[in-house]
Chains A and B, each alone.
Chain A
Amino acid sequence: MSKADKAWDPGNPDRLYIVTKGCEDSNKAMVRLDLVTLIVARTETDPGLQPEHGTIVRMCDYPLSVAEISAYLTLPVSTVTVLLTDLLTRGLVEARPPARVAALPDVCLLEAVMHGLQNL
C-alpha cells in the first residue's frame, strides 16, 4: 500500500495560516508556479528572513522544484507557493518555468527525454 493512499492525517491549519501570515492571495504572483517550476536562490540567505523563507533560500542554492521544496519543508504546495511568491516579489529567488508542453510537445524535447531514459 502506498503512503499516498493511506495518508489521511488531520492537518494543522493554524500553523499554515501563521507561516503565510494569513496571506492567501496568490493573484499577486508574477509567475504561475507549477509543481515542477524550478526555484533558484539569487542571494545568500539573510539572517533577517522569516525562518521558512530563510530555509527555502538556503535549500535553493541549486535548482529545486516546487514539489521538492514542499517535500523537504513538509508543507503543502499551496503554502509553499505563497512563501515563494513573497520571495519572488522580493527578488530573493528566481523561477525557471517548466518546459512548455503544447497539445503536441516539441519533437526535440521528446527526443531529449528518450535519450535520457536510454541512459537510465
Chain B
Amino acid sequence: MDYKTSDPHAGPRREDILPATTAAAVKVVVVGGFGVGKTTMVGTVSEIRPLTTEETMTQAGVGVDDVAGVEQKIETTVAMDFGRISINEQLVLYLFGTPGQERFWFLWDGLFEGALGAVVLLDTRRLEVSYEVVGILEERGVPFVVAVNAFPGAPVHPVSELRAAMDLPDCVPIFTCDARDRASCRDALMTLMRYLYDRAHKTPEPQ
C-alpha cells in the first residue's frame, strides 16, 4: 500500500470541496458480483473523481512451511471505491461500490448500517452470484432495487423471468441499466428513492 500521509497537500482538489454548510450525509451501496460494473456505476454518477478507501484484514497464514506452534498472520488490503453527489447545500450523498466478494463487505464497520438502501447490479451471465448478494441484504434488512447491467452479448431475459429466478417480491423494482451511462445510473438511484418513498408511505405507523 502506498502511504502518503506525510504529504502536507493531501486532500480534495479545489473543485471537490463541499460547501461549509453541508450538515449531513447519506449513503447508498452498490452491490453485485465480481466485475459486474459497480466501480463503473460509481464513477459514472460521481461528481468527484472516484476515490478508494482501503481496509486491512488479518488472516491466519496458510502454508506447509509454518514452524509448528507459530501461527503466521498475513495482513491483506481490500479496497472499496466510492463517489459523491451533492444533493443541496446541506446534504450530500455518498455511493459505495462494495468489493466483489461478500466476505469483505464487513471489513468496513457499519457500511450497511444507516444506508438508505442498495442498488444490486446484476450480470445475466452470472445470475447465481446475485442470489447470495440479495440474501445478505434481505438478512440485514437493507432495502434494494435490482439493476440489470446490459452487457453486450449477455443473455437477455424478460424481467418477469429474472424476478421469478431470483424469487423477488413484486414490489422490488427490477430494470435494465447501463452502468456507463450517467442518465441511466441516475435513473437507477431515482428508482431506489421512489421505492423507499413508497415504502415509507405504504407502511402504517407503528401503534
Pair B12/A64 contact, Cβ less than 8 Å: yes
A38 at the interface (CB under 8 A from B): yes
B162 at the interface (CB under 8 A from A): no
What is the interface of chain B mostly: helix, strand, loop, or mixed? mixed
Q: Name the CB-closest residue of A to B88.
A: A116
Shortest CB-to-CB span from A35 to chain B, Å, is 6
CB contacts (< 8 Å) of B26 on chain A: these are 36, 98-99, 101, 109, 113
CB contacts (< 8 Å) of A67 on chain B: these are 51, 53, 82, 94, 96
Q: Mark B191-207, 1 if CB is under 8 A from A, else 0.
A: 00110110111010000
Bound Cα distance from A13 to B81, whole angstroms: 22
| One of B62-70, B104-112, B131-139, B150-158 at the interface | B104-112
Pair B114/A2 contact, Cβ less than 8 Å: no
A104 at the interface (CB under 8 A from B): yes
Pair A2/B56 contact, Cβ less than 8 Å: no
Take A2-B97, A34-B114, A117-B189 as given contacts and tell me if A98 and B27 are in contact as well, using a CB distance cutoff of 8 Å: yes
B186 at the interface (CB under 8 A from A): yes
A-B contact count (CB 8 A): 231
Pair B88/A112 contact, Cβ less than 8 Å: yes
Take A3-B81, A70-B53 as given contacts and tell me if A38 and B22 are in contact as well, using a CB distance cutoff of 8 Å: yes
Shortest CB-to-CB span from B181 to chain A, Å, is 12
CB contacts (< 8 Å) of B189 on chain A: these are 117
Pair B12/A72 contact, Cβ less than 8 Å: yes
Pair B203/A104 contact, Cβ less than 8 Å: yes
A68 at the interface (CB under 8 A from B): yes
Q: Mark B5-21, 1 if CB is under 8 A from A, else 0.
A: 11110111000011110
Bound Cα distance from A99 to B25, whole angstroms: 6
Q: Name the CB-closest residue of A to B54.
A: A76
Of B10, B55, B116, which is within 8 A of A78 by CB? B55
Bound Cα distance from A91 to B56, whole angstroms: 28
Pair A8/B77 contact, Cβ less than 8 Å: yes
* B39, B56, B78, B93: most-surrounded residue (chain A CB, <10 A): B56
CB contacts (< 8 Å) of B194 on chain A: these are 114
CB contacts (< 8 Å) of B100 on chain A: these are 2, 4-5
Shortest CB-to-CB span from A16 to chain B, Å, is 7
CB contacts (< 8 Å) of A30 on chain B: these are none
CB contacts (< 8 Å) of A10 on chain B: these are 74-77
Bound Cα distance from A20 to B207, whole angstroms: 47
Q: Give me 12 A-to-B residue pairs in the complex whose CB atoms sit less than 8 angstroms apart, sorted by A's number.
A: A4-B38, A19-B5, A35-B53, A38-B18, A38-B23, A55-B10, A62-B18, A67-B51, A68-B84, A76-B77, A112-B88, A116-B85
